[in-house]
A and B are shown apart, each in its own frame.
Chain A
Amino acid sequence: MPEWEKEPALTVLEWPVGSLLGRMRRRDRDALLRLGVPVSFPARQVMLRQGDRGEHALLLLSGYVKVFVGTRQGREVLVAVRGPGDLLGEMAVLEDRHRCANTVAGTLVAARLVGGAELREFLGRNAEACLSVARTVSERLRSAEKSRVDFVATPAPTRVAQVLIETAQRFGRRTPAGWDLGVPLTRAEVASLAGTALSTVEKAFHAMQNEGLLRLRYRRIVVRDLTELRRFGENPY
């Protein structure tokens, strides 16, 4: 059984630095972790559905989640990957609007389901916690805007390399073979994240494999050396 499908550890003492829980003061974090009820989702289950009212949010404790936006042509564009310590679905709760994306479990996921009213009440009397939420949303905005700039100005193979590097840095694990991305991503999903065609990803992966930068197993991507891959990204082919 691959690492990411094993039973998640429910007591994580250190949350990833960029995640909401990783940014919060201990007191706020403990208070937030007491809200809601525990839930779990098997891999590939839809956790939040685009178009639904924002009636609750999910606080991710373990596992990885993919955020897709569906277009009307029925295409699903992967726009982000979220991991342990991240809050999901809070934007629709705060703005009291329809959800703007589908959230799908990429692995077995453990989370806490927090009702909208409970979350609004908590943030409404806890400004410091609310600022932590604002900071994580800021971070996502920075990243979304960076993608937009890159889409216009950066060559597609470079964007493919960047997606791999950023995913490895956020969620990856060091293994003897290199950096395991930690999140099972298909090539089509990498194409979505990089804003390019599947054929471009296939070509880039092929070139990276030829140079020994990448190892691919079933839905598993291992980057041999991040620095080397970065160099490849600067001067693709």
Chain B
Amino acid sequence: MEVQTWSANSLLATLPPPARVELLRLGTRREFLPGQILVREGELSTHVILLVRGCVKVTATAPTGGLALLAIRVGGEIVGELAGLDGQPRSATVTAAGLVRARIMQQGTFHDFLTRHPQAAVAVSRTVGAKLRWATRRRVDFSGYEVPVRVARVLAELADSHGERTSAGVELQVPLTQPELAALVGAAEPTVHKALAGLRRAQVIKTGYRHMTIRDLTRLRAAADPDGEASPIPS
């Protein structure tokens, strides 16, 4: 089994082993090509998708047509579980950002599995809670911090959740374009561009085409937290 591809706080990583083995056998196996859509916003489908490998982007459109990147999900996490739980229309579009291997479960299958494994139901609540924390932090950042700080906060969190240590620093495992980063931060692209240029000049980050390495995580964290120590970051 490809344990190494699961992100540390993901559902698969936190499930008790028997439940994990069973979950990996449920539903049907499917692969998605880069750019392919797994779930479309507004759709009434209720299947749940377990990401076994690869990375997806979760986006939503505003009534006025603007696009917001809500989250990045990687191997070990589930997507589409909100509709799987509450049957409401899909709140966002999920797009493969690279080759994705996944398992697709019908709502009934998912529900039966959780009923058989109450600990898995607790684990699913926990992961939905973790997603809510992230969304709430972005919302609070929006009201409480200037754009450069918000950019640094998003990068520091991505480094923690989806980063890999290399000799050059912490490499973000998620291919993000600048418009996407701007959508994630909730700010205009030129402003985000300027913030990134600042971090690059200070040698805190290194960027290439759809590629980013955090060269100095300590200083990135300092930029993410202009007032220093104080109370613990809600995380």
Q: Which residues in A have some Cβ–Cβ distance to B below 8 Å?
A: 50-51, 69-73, 75, 77, 79, 90-91, 94-95, 97-101, 120, 123-128, 130-131, 133-135, 137-142, 144-154, 192, 195
Query: What are 20 pairs between A and B in contact, CB < 8 Å?
Result: A71-B145, A73-B144, A77-B139, A77-B144, A79-B140, A94-B122, A94-B126, A95-B130, A127-B117, A127-B121, A128-B115, A131-B85, A135-B86, A138-B128, A141-B82, A144-B136, A145-B60, A148-B142, A151-B142, A153-B65
- Asked whether B133 lies within 8 Å of A91 as measured between CB atoms, the reply is yes
Secondary structure of the A contact surface, majority rule? helix
Q: Measured between alpha carbons, how far is A101 from B116 in the docked complex, in Å?
A: 33
Q: Which of B20-28, B95-103, B213-221, B226-234 contacts A (4 or more CB under 8 A)?
A: B226-234
- Asked whether B91 lies within 8 Å of A91 as measured between CB atoms, the reply is no
Of chain A, the residue at the smallest CB distance from B131 is A141
Chain B positions within 8 Å of A141 at CB level: 82, 128, 131-132, 135
Q: Does B118 contact A (CB under 8 A)?
A: yes
| Contact of B85 (CB < 8 Å), options: A79, A123, A134, A145 | A134
Chain A positions within 8 Å of B17 at CB level: none
Secondary structure of the B contact surface, majority rule? helix
- Asked whether B118 lies within 8 Å of A127 as measured between CB atoms, the reply is yes
- Asked whether B85 lies within 8 Å of A135 as measured between CB atoms, the reply is yes
Q: Measured between alpha carbons, how far is A77 from B144 in the docked complex, in Å?
A: 8
Q: Measured between alpha carbons, how far is A121 from B117 in the docked complex, in Å?
A: 13
Known contacts A72-B225, A149-B68, A152-B62, A124 near B231 by CB under 8 Å: no
Q: Does B92 contact A (CB under 8 A)?
A: yes
